[in-house]
Amino acid sequence: MSSIAEYLKDPAAYSRYVQGTGRRPTREVPVGHLPLGGRQPIRIQSMTTADTLDTEAVVAETIRLADAGCDYVRITTPNLTTAKNLRVIKSALKARGYDVPLVADVHFTPNVAEEAARIVEKVRINPGNFVDKKSLNPTKEYTDADFEAAQERIRQRLRSLLAICKEYGTALRIGVNHGSLSDRMLYRYGDTPVGMVESAMEYLRICVDEGFYHIVISLKASNPLVMVAANRLMAAKMDEEGMDFPIHLGVTEAGEGEDARIKSALGIGMLLADGIGDTIRVSLAEPPEAEVPVARAIAGRYGEQYTRRMESSDAVPRLSWDPFLQKPSSVRPTVIAKVRGHYQPFDDDVPIPDAVWFTEAPASLPEDVPAIVPASSWEGRPTTFPWFEEKAPWQAFAAAHPEHEFYVYFASLEKALHTPLPSGGHRIVNTAGLTYKELRALLLKTSSSQSVIWDVPLPADISDLMAVSTDIGGVMAEGWGHGLLWEHADAERWQWAFQVLQACRRRMFRTEFIACPSCGRTLFDLQTTTRKIQEALHDYPGLKIAIMGCIVNGFGEMADADYGYIGTGPGRIALFRGREMVRRNIPEAQAVEALRQLIEEDRKS
C-alpha cells in the first residue's frame, strides 16, 4: 500500500494547508527552558561534529552554535560511554554560563537512549533501527503476524524509554530518514513517503497509548521533493488520527555551498509556507555554525504568518493538483538569458542558455543560440523570435506568421493565464514581489496548465537566492512553469538558474552530490573530501553521488544516489553502486580516484 490515495481516508483534506493562512495547530513540547510548537517561534538547531568523548571540542562547538543563535544542539551518542559523557559536557557548559538544551542522537541502542534521557533535554531515535534492523539486501518476506510481533517488541523497548522521559521531563524526537527505513517497512510500503509516515505513526500510536506526548516528528530526505511529500503526508495523517505533534524539518545530507542552501530553502520553505514546521535544521557539509544563519534566513520569512493559528474549515475548495506529487512535469524547462545591451559570448565553464533575450534591439546576434528580440527589430530570421509587451499587436504577428514562435511579456500572472495564445506563443511573466504561496494561489485560481516562463529578478546575494529557491523553485517543483528568464550578469549568478532547476528535479545539468553534514561518528575529514569529490566528478549530468561519513546510516541514507562513498573505519572507505557495496577497505588517499574509475568503467560497459 504505497499509494497515498489508499493510505489517507481523504487525500484532498490537505487543501486547507495549501489555501489557508497561518500555522498548523500543534501542541507545545517542553525542551528544557525553550519549548517548541504551539505559538512558540520556529526553533533553530544544529549538531556538533567533534568526537563526543572530546569534551572540550564539543563544548567549544556548542558555544559557537549558541552564540550564532542556535536554540538546540544535537550531539551524536553511539554508546553508553558517550551517553555518560553528556553529563560532563552539560556541566562544562553550565560552568561557562550556557544552558542551551542538548539533544542526544541515538541509533541502534535503546539502552543508550535510556541513559541519555536521564541527562539531556531531548533524545532522538530512528524507527528504522531502534528495534528493527536494516540489511544491505533485504530478502525476507513479512506476514501480518511478523508485523504484530515487531510492534510488540517495539512497545516493550519503547515503554522503558518513555517511562524515563516522563520521570526526567525529557522530550523525544521520532526521526525517520528516507533510505533508513527498516526491512519490514520497505517490504510493505517500499522506500516511499507512505513508508516514512507509517514508520513514524507506528511509534506515535504506541506513545499515545502509553500517555506520552512530549514528542517531535521528523521525516527527512536528501531529495527535497520526497521530503516535502512525506511531511505533507505526515501532517495529513496526524490530522486524520487526531494528533497535533510538532514537526522538525530538514533536507538531510544537503551538501555544501550554494547547492545545499538552494535545496534546503526549497524543501523547508515550501512546507513553512503551508504553515507546517516548528523547528528546522539546515544540514551543511560545513562547520556547524554555518548552518545557523541559513536556517534563520529561511525561517525569518514566515515570522508574521507563524503568529496566527490556522483554523479548520470545511469550506476550503478541493485542490486541482496532487500536493503529494514526487515527480514534477517531465517537460524539460527552458533557461533563457536576459541580456541588457551588448551580447557577450558565454564562458566555457558555465551552462549555455537555450536562447538569449535582448531587452533592446541588439547590435549583433549570437551565432550559437537562438535570439529573442524586441518585435520592432525582428527581421524575419528563422532562428530569431520577436517578443511583445502584452498590449502590443502580437495578434497581428500571429496571424501573419502562424508557423513562427513568438513571446508576450506580461506584468501580471493572472492576466497572462487569462490571455489565450496560439500554439506558437509563449508567456513570459514578471514574478517580482510574488511569493511561492501567492504564485500558487493564482495558478490554482485559474487551474491553468498553460505554458509560462518565469521572469525572475536577479538575486543580489545568497539570501535572495534562497528566497527565489522557495518561491520559483516551489512552483517549478510542483510542475508549474516551462522555463526561467534569468539575467546574465555574471557567471556565478547565471549558474544559479540551473542550480534551482536541479534542486527541484526539473533539469539536471551536472552531478548531484549528497553529502552528510558530519558528526562525531564521521571517520574522515568530510568537508575536505566533499570538495575533492566535487572537483573531480562534477561533470556527470544527472548522476547522483553520496558522500557519507560513516556506515551507521550511510548505506541507507544514500538511497537516492547512484554511487556512494562511505567511511567504514579510520582512513578506510567503501564504494557503493546503488545499494550494492562493490569495493571495501580502500585507503582514503586512493578512494576518490577509485570512485572515478568505477564510474568510468560502468559508463563503458
**Mean pLDDT within 240-256:** 93
Do the first three CATH levels of 4-307 and 512-604 match, i.e. the same topology? Answer: no
In the block, which residue shows the cell 537512549?
113
Which has the minimum average pLDDT: 62-71, 228-237, 340-349, 451-460?
Answer: 340-349
Percent share of the chain, pLDDT over 70: 94
Which pLDDT score is estimated for 157? Answer: 94
Q: Residue 247: is its pLDDT beyond 80?
A: yes
| CATH topology for the 334-503 domain | TIM Barrel (3.20.20)
pLDDT in tens, 7-52: 998 888 899 899 888 999 999 999 999 999 999 999 999 999 999 9
Which of 69-78, 225-234, 364-373 comes out lowest in average pLDDT? 364-373
Residue 138 is predicted with a pLDDT of 65
Q: CA 480, 483, 488 angle in degrees (round to 5)?
A: 140
Q: What is the pLDDT of residues 469-481, one digit of tens each?
A: 999 999 999 999 9
Whole-number pLDDT of residue 179: 80
What pLDDT shows up at residue 530?
84
Q: Is the pLDDT of residue 313 over 70?
A: no
Rounded CA Rg of the chain: 25
- For residue 258, give the amino acid letter: E
Using a pLDDT cut of 90, give the percent of the chain over it: 68
Note the pLDDT of residue 429.
Answer: 96
Matching residue, cell 519503547: 158
Q: In the predicted model, what is the mean pLDDT of residues 210-221? A: 97
Taking the mean position of all CA atoms in its chain, how far away is CA 90?
31
Q: Is pLDDT at 326 greater than 90 in this prediction?
A: no
Mean pLDDT on 54-79: 97
Q: What is the mean pLDDT of the chain?
A: 91
User: Do 409 and 388 meet the contact criterion of CB atoms below 8 Å apart?
Assistant: yes
Instruction: Note the pLDDT of residue 151.
Output: 94
Please indicate, yes or no, whether the overall pTM of this predicted structure exceeds 0.75.
yes
- For β-strands 452-455 and 483-487, DSSP reports them as parallel
What is the per-residue pLDDT for 578?
A: 85
Q: Where are the domains of the chain?
A: 4-307, 334-503, 512-604
Determine the Cα–Cα distance for residues 323 and 479; give it in Å rounded to an integer. 11
Look at residue 315 in the predicted model and tell me its pLDDT: 66
Asked if 520 and 549 count as a contact pair (C-beta separation under 8 A), the reply is no
pLDDT higher than threshold 90 for residue 518 = no
pLDDT score of 393 more than 60: yes
pLDDT at 363: 87
Could you tell me which residue, 561 or 33, shows the higher pLDDT? 33
Polymer length in residues for the chain: 605
| Cα–Cα distance, 332 to 481 (Å, whole number) | 10
What is the biggest distance separating any 2 CA atoms in the chain, rounded to whole angstroms? Answer: 81
More confident residue, 270 or 137: 270
pLDDT of residue 568: 80
pLDDT single digits (tens) 91-143 = 999 999 999 999 999 988 999 999 999 999 999 999 999 988 766 556 688 99
Three-state DSSP at 486 gives strand
| Res. 447: pLDDT tops 70 | no
Based on DSSP, count helices (H) and strands (E) in the chain, helices before strands.
19, 21
How does residue 164 score in pLDDT terms, banded at 50, 70 and 90?
A: very high
CATH fold group of domain 4-307: TIM Barrel (3.20.20)
Is residue 556 very low, low, confident or very high in pLDDT (cuts 50, 70, 90)?
low
- Cross-strand bridge partners of residue 36: 29
Alpha helices in 96-143 (DSSP H): 110-117
Class of CATH domain 512-604:
alpha beta
Task: Give per-residue pLDDT as tens, 588-605.
Answer: 889 999 999 999 999 988
Confidence of residue 557 (pLDDT cuts 50, 70, 90): low
| Kind and range of the H or E run holding 602 | helix 588-604
Is the distance from CB of 450 to CB of 484 less than 8 angstroms? Answer: no
Q: Residue 4 and residue 15: Cα distance in Å, rounded? A: 15
Query: Is the confidence at residue 566, as pLDDT, over 70?
Result: yes
Q: Which three cell numbers stand for residue 430?
A: 514578471
Question: Whole-angstrom Cα distance, residue 543 to residue 599?
Answer: 10
